[in-house]
Structure 1
């Protein structure tokens, strides 16, 4: 195993439903402990609302935990790719690409030199001078993934990004990620697809109700996750019924 690049030590994140500082906290993540190693691809799986996307935002440094500590190797840069984050929608595709590349450590000159690669990979060159607000979710995903492939961050954070776009783009993005994995790219991949996690990830982290249910070799964790599906679905149905009442 390569050296540790990042770790979570008893990390928790909570929020309050009201502005009252004495109101009860709602814990999204609780007592999260794991290490991320340079060159590995860690898969994160769990049902909707389990805390997976929140975990990625903590990894990206967008939000800070309420408890515990996050350790990151000095100088390490991470980039989060998600359908709902990262672009200034009033700016054009060109402007967003330049801005994103510069925030990942590229100079303006280097960013401009990388634009051809962004355009070629994304396949939306005809839209690059249009406002990103006019893009479909799939077109934003194409642009975001293409930028990440040029930006070469230390840690690539992918939030369901391999499940969007048409069949050809899914194949293309999957192939590009596979090449990155083989070239020692560190990545964290959130997906509802066990098949995707099995294909790309050496280890898997299963989060349920904000807690780590399992962490270890991908096949072992996913086998436990899939075996728990009937009980998990019953439990969520009960919670939904209580809320509805």
Structure 2
């Protein structure tokens, strides 16, 4: 199988912060990381806290640039990073955020508005879907983020601990969606979680950092 959706080669990234007038602290979050992902795979990204899991997903999502190495995806690949607190404008409603997220993934405004109804239904946010995100709990933001990512049907969905919060019912619903609607097709998922059983249920293989 060589129908790759993602190729990561020698990616490294180091954070440096100043801790005083003449002192600083550095942390190498990623060191020469290489792997490939085939279309239709659900791949788990595991490792201890500070191993670089979130940094890796942010690089793959284009949020930050790697200091070394390269990331390749086929031209016109759509991707979405689901991470609590990332990407949402707290002053806008859930619907407005969902529409903007869809448009960022190349969907027209008209289609994004139509899709927003499906996102509302999947997220089960009810009247809160049309309320500002700043009024949401972390579980509600998780519902909005996951629903937006899966309903917009991006080619590469990256889930960073989004399903670690919220109620058990929605977690199970999200897992079923990944297993039945995404894996095995032309969509791929990178899934970060500290929940070993969840990783085993969802992922065909894992990459340990």
* Runs of 4+ with deviation above 6 angstroms: none
In the alignment, the residues of structure 2 paired with residue 43 and residue 16 of structure 1 have an alpha-carbon distance, to the nearest angstrom, of: 28
Is 1:86 the counterpart of 2:107? The answer is no
Q: Size of the alignment, in residue pairs? A: 207
Shift of 1:47: 1.1
Contact 2:41 2:184 in 1 (8 A): no
Structure-1-length-normalised TM-score: 0.79
Residue of structure 2 in register with 1:181 after alignment: 183
Q: Distance in 1 between matches of 2:139 and 2:38?
A: 31
The whole-number CA distance in structure 2 between the counterparts of 1:107 and 1:69 is 30
Structure 2: distance between partners of 1:168 and 1:45: 24
Q: Is 1:147 matched with 2:182?
A: no
Deviation at 1:95, TM superposition (A): 0.8
Shift of 1:29: 0.7
Number of the residue aligned with 1:3 = 3
For 1:186 and 1:14, the matched residues in 2 are separated by 27
Kindly state the Cα deviation for residue 25 of structure 1 after the two structures are TM-superposed: 4.3
Which consecutive residues of structure 1, in runs of 5 or more, have no partner in the other structure? 208-245
Q: Are the structure 2 counterparts of residues 170 and 25 from structure 1 closer, same or farther at C-alpha, using a change threshold of 3 Å?
A: closer
Deviates more, 1:163-172 or 1:91-100: 163-172
Partner deviation per Cα, 1:120-147 (whole Å, 9 max, x = no partner)? 1111121122110110000000011111
Distance apart, 1:185 and its partner CA: 1.8
Shift of 1:31: 0.7
What is the CA–CA distance in structure 2 between the aligned matches of 1:193 and 1:167, rounded to whole Å? 13
CA contact (8 A) 1:2 1:39 kept: no
1:18 aligned residue? 18
Structure 2 partner of 1:196:
198
SS in 2 for 1:63: coil
User: Which structure 2 segments of 5+ residues have no match?
Assistant: none
1:206 aligns with 2:193: no
- Select the structure of larger CA radius of gyration: 1
Could you tell me how far apart the structure 1 residues matched to 2:117 and 2:5 are? Answer: 31
Q: Distance in 1 between matches of 2:73 and 2:184?
A: 23
Q: Report which of the two has the higher share of helix.
A: 1
Residues 94 and 6 of structure 1, relative CA distance in 2, 3 Å threshold: same
Partner Cα separation in structure 2 for residue 118 and residue 72 of structure 1: 26
* RMSD over equivalenced CA pairs, Å: 1.9
Give the structure 2 partner of residue 231 of structure 1: none
TM-score (normalizing by structure 2): 0.93
- Render the CA deviation track for 1:14-43: whole Å, top value 9, x for unaligned: 1211299x9674311111111111111111
